[in-house]
Chain A
Amino acid sequence: NAGVMQNPRHLVRRRGQEARLRCSPVKGHSHVYWYRQLPEEGLKFMVYLQKENIIDESGMPKERFSAEFPKEGPSILRIQQVVRGDSAAYFCASSLWDSSYLHTEAFFGQGTRLTVV
């Protein structure tokens, strides 16, 4: 019974390179969320995706950041031309869809720790 799987766990990139973070949700979960945790700060919402759709990207920086959740395969958070300020832990979470809209909690992965040097 695998939980949310994120890889890589640690990623080092030089300034200007691209970072690709992958997230495989819990089997059967169709909703994926990305959060960022900066040092000494709380988790910040970035984006909410369902299969092939971006539902809410209000927390995503307008430039260099993009996310997708294709019909097949993991969700990808992509950061182009990374800068030092992008160094953080990036967490993915997934949840079920409940048609009665009783809340279904989000299960988090172990995170990817991005270091930009």
Chain B
Amino acid sequence: EDQVTQSPEALRLQEGESSSLNCSYTVSGLRGLFWYRQDPGKGPEFLFTLYSAGEEKEKERLKATLTKKESFLHITAPKPEDSATYLCAVEKEGGATNKLIFGTGTLLAVQP
């Protein structure tokens, strides 16, 4: 069964304390893996797409990496404004574009 599992469910960091969020997936053929950020009461905001193992992408304090079984979202020196729920999703080969399978997210809280 296709599945996306994110860990930890929740993470509390001090400002400046770097860490990583994990997304492990089992799908029958991966077309792409996506990271989104979701603030309370808002819709998901696109961050990154990764297509192949070994690929890395960066944006400000965030860096996403991909292996054949999992992806990591590394947060370097986080700030309070990075507090949000981070969602991971996969798109299967042969499936409709943007038909995404989401994990349940990691709730990140960054304290000043």
Contacts and interface: CB of A to CB of B under 8 A. Distances in A.
Interface in B33-66: 34, 36, 41-46, 49, 51
Contact of A95 (B42, B51, B98, B102): B98
B55 to A, nearest CB: 13
22 contacts: A6-B43, A33-B98, A40-B104, A41-B104, A42-B102, A42-B104, A43-B44, A43-B89, A43-B102, A48-B96, A48-B99, A56-B95, A91-B43, A103-B97, A105-B49, A106-B98, A108-B43, A108-B44, A109-B43, A111-B41, A111-B42, A111-B43
Interface residues of A, number: 29
A45 interface: yes
Nearest to A107: B46
A6 to B, nearest CB: 8
Contacts, number: 70
Contacts of B103: 42
A42 B87 CA distance: 9
Given A44-B102, A105-B49, A110 B96 contact: no
A103 B43 contact: no
The size class of the interface chain B forms with chain A is: 20 to 34
B36 to A, nearest CB: 8
Nearest to A40: B104
B31 A4 contact: no
B100 interface: yes
Interface of B: 4, 31-32, 34, 36, 41-46, 49, 51, 87, 89, 91, 95-105
A109 B45 CA distance: 9
A31 interface: yes
Contacts of A58: 99
Interface of A: 4, 6, 31, 33, 35, 40-45, 48, 55-56, 58-59, 91, 93, 95, 101, 103-111
